[in-house]
Structure 1
Amino acid sequence: MESYSGRDNVLQYRAQMAFQKIMKHACEELGFDRVNWLIQQGGDGELAILPPGTSERAVVTRLTPVVDRLLREYNRGLAPEARVRLRIGIHEGLVHLDGANGYPGDAVVTVCRLIDSPQLKAALRRFAGAAVALILSDRIHQDIVRHYQDLRPEHFQRVAVHLPEKNFEAVAWIYVPGENAADAAMNDGVEAPRSRDNPEADSDGAVGRTSPGPPPQSSGGQSFHHITSHGVNAFGNGNVISTSGLTDNTAARRSNS
């Protein structure tokens, strides 16, 4: 949730209640089995590991617009400090489901870094009428958005997320429902990175899905962004899915402020 720590106790309590209510209603509307999501609560948001069989394509392309609509309805008439606005991040990769204090895995670290990216925070500030801003890992964007185009690819802003204090750098894609994030970034004077379809390399020799600096962290295997799969695909790399509840190639989703 945006600006969560700046709220007083009462507003934090109300924001948490609203968050859970909105997520419950969104998942019911979309037919997502939220009961079986593995959720690690964070006060101002949550980290969710989605179960095998979840449609990655549906999660990536349908969840954010529905949550945005429900939140805008909720926020109508509220004072600015009481409104709830979310950042959602989606990535995929191997995750240990039996961790002693959470869910260990590079995929979890990656989606948490993406959700904290300054570019995503700036996008939510830029579009005051929006209630949600989405960030997808490059792999999710390529596997879902580029191929299926349920969401218009040209409305995604390509960014190079760089968090030097976390030793993290990766290419990602930002989307704001009902807005053209790419066009707004250009109007703000933000230089758009070269497209993956550009046959020429970037200035550092990087082509396609690599970032303009050190290569982005990868969890290995096939991947799609944070809840990835849209369609009939199952979470994970689509090869072997464990049903033992121990370790699984699952998608990690993080919504936060």
Structure 2
Amino acid sequence: MERYSRRTNLQQYEAQQHFRELLHEAAGDVGLNRVAWTTQQAGDGELAILPQDVAESRVIGRFVPELNRRLRSYNSSRVPAAQIRLRVAVHQGLVHLDGANGFPGNAVVFVCRLCEAKPVKRALAAFPDAGVALIVSAEIYRDVVTEYPEEMRPERFRRVEVVHPDKGFQEDAWLCVVDEDMSAPSAAENSTPTPPAPRNMGPGADHRQEASDSPSTRTPRTGGIRTGDIRVDGQNAIGPGATAIGSVGRDLTFGGGREGRAR
């Protein structure tokens, strides 16, 4: 949630209430059951692990736009200090839901890094009427956004470099501000033009990309994560997997099961 710490105690209390309500309403309107999401609250945001039967295309292509629409309507009648604007990050990966103090897993850490990225904060600030700035990992962009071009609108995304020097984190990701034109120079800061969408070259084609030592030519790394049915062995395995989405505010994600890999 943007500018959460600048609010008074009462404003934070009200923002949390409306934040939850808006998420539930947007999910319900697109046929998603928020009750089935495994969540961890963070005051200004939420980490959510989505059930394995929830399609990422529905989350990105329908839920996020509906959430943006509701936020724009909500904010239109409120002063800036009372408005709710969200940074939403989406990633996939292995998540453990039986941790002693949260959800262990690099996918959770990764999605939180995306949500806190400077390019996302600057993009949301550049469009004062926007409700959502969405950032997705290279894997999600490749496996979901480019596979559903009519619904996902991949041309609206811009590649950005997410860097957290103090965390030793440097990764490529894809950013868009829902229903806004990011082709303007101010909006495209720290971003590069969208290259042609990667396509499946046929059966057996290897979709993985290797990272170059040169930052200027580095391509998105997959981290070994694949889509489709994934076997997870062990006492806590849940089968085909869960979706890790990260989003809203300081650290928000989505995924599911005791132990599973995001699709």
Query: When the two structures are superposed, what TM-score results if normalisation uses the length of structure 2?
Result: 0.80
Query: Per-residue displacement from partner, 1:28-64 (whole Å, max 9, x unpaired)?
Result: 1011121111100000000000011111111121121
Which range moves more in the overlay, 11-20 or 245-254? 245-254
Query: Per-residue displacement from partner, 1:169-193 (whole Å, max 9, x unpaired)?
Result: 1110111111122x12477665616
Query: Per-residue displacement from partner, 1:120-154 (whole Å, max 9, x unpaired)?
Result: 00000011110110000010001111121112212
Deviation at 1:240, TM superposition (A): 3.4
**Inter-partner Cα distance in structure 2 for 1:36 and 1:85:** 24
Gaps of 5+ in 1: 211-215, 224-236
Specify whether residues 184 and 190 from structure 1 end up closer, same or farther in structure 2 by C-alpha distance, changes over 3 A only: farther
1:141 paired residue number:
141
Which of the residues 244, 248, 251 maps onto 1:255? 248
Q: Residues 92-111 of structure 1 correspond to what in structure 2 (within 5 A)?
A: 92-111=92-111
Deviation at 1:239, TM superposition (A): 2.5
Give the conservation status (yes or no) of the 8 Å contact 2:123–2:187: no
**Inter-partner Cα distance in structure 1 for 2:238 and 2:214:** 37
The alignment yields a C-alpha RMSD, in angstroms, of 2.6
2:128 paired residue number:
128
Question: What percentage of residue pairs aligned between the two structures are identical?
Answer: 40
Partner of 1:161, secondary structure, is strand
2:231 paired residue number:
240
Deviation at 1:202, TM superposition (A): 7.6
Give the conservation status (yes or no) of the 8 Å contact 1:194–1:202: no
Specify whether residues 132 and 81 from structure 1 end up closer, same or farther in structure 2 by C-alpha distance, changes over 3 A only: same
Q: Runs ≥4 in structure 1, deviation > 4 angstroms?
A: 185-191, 205-208, 244-248
Query: Per-residue displacement from partner, 1:169-221 (whole Å, max 9, x unpaired)?
Result: 1110111111122x1247766561673769xx9892875733xxxxx583x32
Specify whether residues 167 and 205 from structure 1 end up closer, same or farther in structure 2 by C-alpha distance, changes over 3 A only: closer
Gaps of 5+ in 2: 199-210, 251-263
**Inter-partner Cα distance in structure 2 for 1:188 and 1:60:** 21
Partner of 1:112, secondary structure, is helix
1:170 paired residue number:
171
Give the conservation status (yes or no) of the 8 Å contact 1:38–1:48: yes
Give the conservation status (yes or no) of the 8 Å contact 1:90–1:252: yes
Partner of 1:39, secondary structure, is strand
Q: Residues 142-157 of structure 1 correspond to what in structure 2 (within 5 A)?
A: 142-149=142-149, 150-157=151-158
**Inter-partner Cα distance in structure 1 for 2:78 and 2:89:** 26
Specify whether residues 134 and 146 from structure 1 end up closer, same or farther in structure 2 by C-alpha distance, changes over 3 A only: same
2:70 paired residue number:
70
Partner of 1:44, secondary structure, is coil
Which of the residues 223, 226, 234 maps onto 1:222? 226
Give the conservation status (yes or no) of the 8 Å contact 1:196–1:208: no
Give the conservation status (yes or no) of the 8 Å contact 1:65–1:177: yes
Specify whether residues 188 and 52 from structure 1 end up closer, same or farther in structure 2 by C-alpha distance, changes over 3 A only: closer
The residue identity in structure 2 corresponding to 1:239 is: I
Specify whether residues 119 and 100 from structure 1 end up closer, same or farther in structure 2 by C-alpha distance, changes over 3 A only: same
Give the conservation status (yes or no) of the 8 Å contact 2:157–2:194: no
**Inter-partner Cα distance in structure 2 for 1:54 and 1:241:** 18
**Inter-partner Cα distance in structure 2 for 1:217 and 1:108:** 15
Specify whether residues 124 and 44 from structure 1 end up closer, same or farther in structure 2 by C-alpha distance, changes over 3 A only: same
The residue identity in structure 2 corresponding to 1:204 is: S
2:81 paired residue number:
81
Deviation at 1:251, TM superposition (A): 1.9
2:260 paired residue number:
none
Specify whether residues 117 and 185 from structure 1 end up closer, same or farther in structure 2 by C-alpha distance, changes over 3 A only: farther
